[in-house]
Amino acid sequence: MKARTKPLTVALVSGGMDSCVALGWAAARYRVAMLHVNYGQRTEAKELECFGRLVGHFRPETSLVVDAPHLGRIGGSSLTDRRIAVPSDDEPGEIPTTYVPFRNANLLAIATSWAETIGAERIVIGAVEQDAPGYPDCRPAFYEAANRLIALGTRPDTHITVETPLIAMRKADVVRLGAELGAPLGLTWSCYQNESAPCRQCASCRRRAEAFEEAGAADPLDGLR
């Protein structure tokens, strides 16, 4: 596909590993516009820093940072409310406290507004069902419903499709795909608590460490202390 005929795609980029790999997947296929949302999360500054570095690496056609402080004010999650402890593991069969109520719907709404404005035909999000045990907005059915909603709620001549290239993958497979794509995983951040060095105790740090170990690869963040 020639570059000038590639569709423009909005990539939602948190600064985390999954969104980086999804971005790499999108950049290999489409023209990319990168979108980051600050929503009052504990590691907001670090995630924004990582997004800036990823913009420098991928050099998208355009990029946008949006503030959505209402999610922080609403609370209900250990990622946005410091009175709620960040868990070190996930309880099977339960929705973790790290779930931010309806966050991905909010992110997709912002991405859809921007996509419709700039003429993008796709939205790529790095959702991984296995990496978000119990999160209702990380299920394939959620994104199928989101596509129907977008079709109903945008102009008739607008055609935007949400793509979730990683959703059925195991975390180790995401690491392997990242290596194949040459995704700069050293520029990403997974820790739910710290911004200087990974805490290595939260559920997200644990999943990241297990994924790299299973993939037989070294995490470029391992040297941070």
Please report the pLDDT score of residue 93 as a whole number: 73
Please report the pLDDT score of residue 130 as a whole number: 81
> In terms of DSSP bridges, do strands 62-67 and 161-163 run parallel, antiparallel, or are they unpaired?
unpaired
Please report the pLDDT score of residue 225 as a whole number: 58
**DSSP state letter for 90:** P
Residues 181 and 21: beta-carbon distance below 8 Å: yes
pLDDT in tens, 174-183: 999 999 999 9
Considering only 73-82, 88-97, 199-208, which range has the smallest mean pLDDT? 88-97
Please report the pLDDT score of residue 224 as a whole number: 76
Q: Is residue 128 part of a domain?
A: yes
pLDDT in tens, 140-157: 999 999 999 999 999 999
Q: Is residue 173 part of a domain?
A: yes
Please report the pLDDT score of residue 4 as a whole number: 59
Please report the pLDDT score of residue 32 as a whole number: 98
Q: Phi and psi of 171, rounded to 5°?
A: -60, -40
The mean per-residue pLDDT over the stretch 40-64 comes to 98
Q: Is residue 221 part of a domain?
A: no
Q: Is residue 223 part of a domain?
A: no
Q: Is residue 103 part of a domain?
A: yes
The mean per-residue pLDDT over the stretch 119-139 comes to 91
194: domain CATH number is 3.40.50.620
Give me the number of domains the chain comprises. 1
Q: Is residue 224 part of a domain?
A: no
Query: In the structure, what pLDDT confidence band is assigned to residue 1 with cuts at 50, 70 and 90?
Result: very low
Q: Is residue 102 part of a domain?
A: yes
Task: State the residue range of the domain holding 73.
Answer: 3-215
Distance CA 198, CA 212 (A): 15
Q: In the numeric block, which tokens belong to residue 104?
A: 């991905």
Chain mean pLDDT for the chain: 95
Among candidate residues 117, 119, 118, 138, the one with its CA nearest the CA of residue 129? 138
Q: Is residue 17 part of a domain?
A: yes
pLDDT in tens, 89-110: 876 678 999 999 999 999 999 9
